[in-house]
Homo-oligomer: A and B are copies of this chain.
Amino acid sequence: MSHDGADLARSSTPPKRVRNAAATREAILRSAVIAFTRHGYDGVGVREIAQSAGVTAMLVNRYFGSKEQLFTEAVDTAFAPRTVLSDNPATLAGDVAARLVERTAPESEHLDPFLLMLRSASNPRAAEIVRAGVERHAGRYLSELLEGPDADERAMLAHSVIAGFWLMRKMLGSTALVTADPDELTRRLEALLVIALSPSREK
């Protein structure tokens, strides 16, 4: 499929793909993030990921060594950008609540890192990789944003609330949360996040 003759203009390759290691690696990684987010670590095979990237399964191991190492890079890629976190501490809880309700809506098909986390956490190996990723990115960023004592603890408690909500509303599809009024739900979530993020009153 391809001739790289210089002057054979007419029959020049309709090249379905450039043979480029870096680009191929990139394509596999992008497919991996999507697939792992949709189906979790155990729920997807390397064949499937490779096919979405337009290559064969072999190249996955060629470029990443193993499924586990591919997952490690995918987690890092997925958690690097901010998704639900805003940068203004004053409006943080409200912003997060609003985006969360929006993204967990039944009609939304948003691919969120929290889904990657929830769907992969049942595998202990994957869970450890995800823990490291969370603490390195979102957790660390949020901790730095918070003032007062126990910033890490409060950040992870907020993550607990967010993750639990993703699980019950989007993954499980809890009837009460799916049919609830979004504005009402947003207010409740905001109240929860305010509590989770606040420094403790007593000591």
Contacts and interface: CB of A to CB of B under 8 A. Distances in A.
Closest 7 CB pairs of A and B: A164-B164, A152-B176, A160-B164, A40-B122, A119-B122, A131-B172, A163-B164
A117 to B, nearest CB: 8
* Chain A facing B: main interface SS: helix
How many copies of this chain sit in the oligomeric assembly? 2
Contacts of A160: 161, 164-165, 167-169, 177
Interface string A5-28: 000000000000000000000000
Interface residues of A, number: 54
Contact of A118 (B43, B122, B188): B122
Contacts of A157: 165, 177, 188-189, 192
A153 B161 CA distance: 15
A92 B127 CA distance: 31
Contact of A167 (B42, B128, B167, B174): B167
A172 B122 contact: no
Nearest to A121: B171
B163 A176 contact: no
A66 interface: no
B161 A162 contact: no
Interface in A12-67: 39-40, 42-43
Nearest to A188: B157
Interface string A101-121: 000000000000000011111
A43 B123 contact: yes
